[in-house]
């Protein structure tokens, strides 16, 4: 049995599991309850377990944070609170446990493909100044950033990671080919798209796309993908050129 077929078979029995640890549980599934991801959720292609961190807090106020040792601005999420929540959630084999943080390695499409082919993800959403380092070390959590900017909490980053994974699960996108031929899949940005009308406000669709010549269309699209990558993403372009030499 091929890897892809076995994956599809596994997926048919057990939904891909998203477990989210958050102080704002009502934010989920949020936008992931709509459109493709929402339909996939209803159809049991993925499951959404939300673990509220607040009940693990301490004292009558269920405190989850405290002042940083060494002084400085803001509050830090306590390690004992996060530990109690992580202990309470059942972790299936093959599930990646991830702390979303601007201090993490950048999230790439290849990571998304890896997570989408696994059993699921556990996502720890930080708030305040973040989470005490010791609990991140103790659980050896992967630390992942969705970009070089600072959000107010990990929940929006969780939506980003989950949305990108869910659309790759078998049966979510109608045409599986669209996730094979898209930006990053082969290391380049995608070529531009056009649809009807063929002429719009004095702008014509490139002639070659109307030619019916599939080889010429493929060559044009490849050239466009290379040109836009070279112009907008010199980092991706250099890697592409290096790979092409091998
Ligand atoms: N003090 C932290 C720093 O400077 O690295 C920023 C903390 S931020 C205000 C609060 C939480 O938002 C973080 O713990 C993290 O979970 C989430 N977050 C913020 N920016 C993020 C990003 N770029 N990628 C992933 N998560 C992010």
Backbone angles phi, psi at 56, to 5 degrees: -85, -5
Atom of ligand 1 nearest to the CA of 99: 16
Query: What 3-state DSSP class applies to 123?
Result: strand
- Domain end position, chosen among 132, 166, 200: 166
Q: Does 172 fall in a domain?
A: no
Please report, for the domain that includes residue 100, its CATH number: 3.40.1280.10
* 106 CA → ligand 1 middle, Å: 13
Indicate which residue's Cα is closest to atom 27 of ligand 1. 101
3-state SS, 153-222, equals CHHHHHHHHHHHHHCCCCCCCCCHHHHCCCCCCCCCCCCCCCCCCCEECCEECCHHHHCCCHHHHHHHHH
Residues 96 and 147 occupy one common structural domain: yes
- pLDDT tens figures, 163-183: 999 999 999 997 666 777 899
- Domain end position, chosen among 116, 131, 166: 166
143 lines ligand 1 (CB under 6 A): no
Q: Does 201 fall in a domain?
A: yes
- The residue to mutate among 124, 126, 141, having the most atoms of ligand 1 within 8 angstroms of its beta carbon, is 126
The pTM of the full predicted model, rounded to 2 decimals, is 0.94
Q: Which of 104-118, 136-150, 163-177 has the lowest mean pLDDT?
A: 163-177
- pLDDT tens figures, 185-232: 899 999 999 999 999 999 999 999 999 999 999 999 999 999 999 999
- Domain end position, chosen among 106, 136, 166: 166
127 lines ligand 1 (CB under 6 A): yes
Indicate which residue's Cα is closest to atom 13 of ligand 1. 126
Residues 133 and 198 occupy one common structural domain: no
The residue range of the domain holding 227 is 181-245
pLDDT value of position 151: 98
Q: Does 192 fall in a domain?
A: yes
Q: Hey, which residues does 123 pair with through a beta bridge?
A: 20, 98
């Amino acid at each position: 049995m091929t890897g892809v077929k076995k994956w599809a078979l596994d997926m048919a029995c057990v939904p891909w599991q998203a477990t989210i640890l958050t102080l704002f549980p009502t934010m989920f599934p949020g936008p992931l309850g709509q459109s493709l991801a929402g339909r996939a959720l209803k159809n049991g292609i993925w499951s959404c377990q939300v673990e509220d961190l607040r009940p693990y807090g301490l004292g009558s106020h269920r405190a989850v944070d405290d002042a940083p040792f060494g002084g400085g601005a803001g509050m830090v999420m306590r390690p004992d609170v996060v530990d109690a929540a992580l202990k309470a959630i059942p972790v299936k084999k093959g599930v990646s446990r991830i702390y979303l943080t601007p201090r993490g390695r950048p999230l790439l499409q290849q990571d998304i493909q890896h997570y989408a082919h696994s059993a699921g993800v556990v996502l720890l959403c930080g708030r305040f100044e973040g989470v005490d380092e010791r609990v991140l070390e103790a659980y050896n959590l992967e630390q992942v950033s969705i970009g070089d900017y600072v959000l107010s909490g990990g929940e929006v980053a969780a939506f980003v990671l989950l949305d990108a994974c869910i659309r790759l699960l078998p049966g979510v996108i109608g045409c599986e080919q669209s996730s094979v031929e898209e930006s990053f899949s082969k290391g380049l940005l995608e070529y531009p798209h056009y649809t009807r009308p063929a002429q719009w406000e004095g702008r014509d669709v490139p002639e070659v796309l109307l030619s019916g010549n599939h080889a010429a269309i493929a060559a044009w699209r490849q050239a466009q993908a290379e040109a836009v990558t070279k112009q907008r993403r010199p980092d991706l372009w250099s890697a592409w050129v290096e790979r092409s030499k091998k």
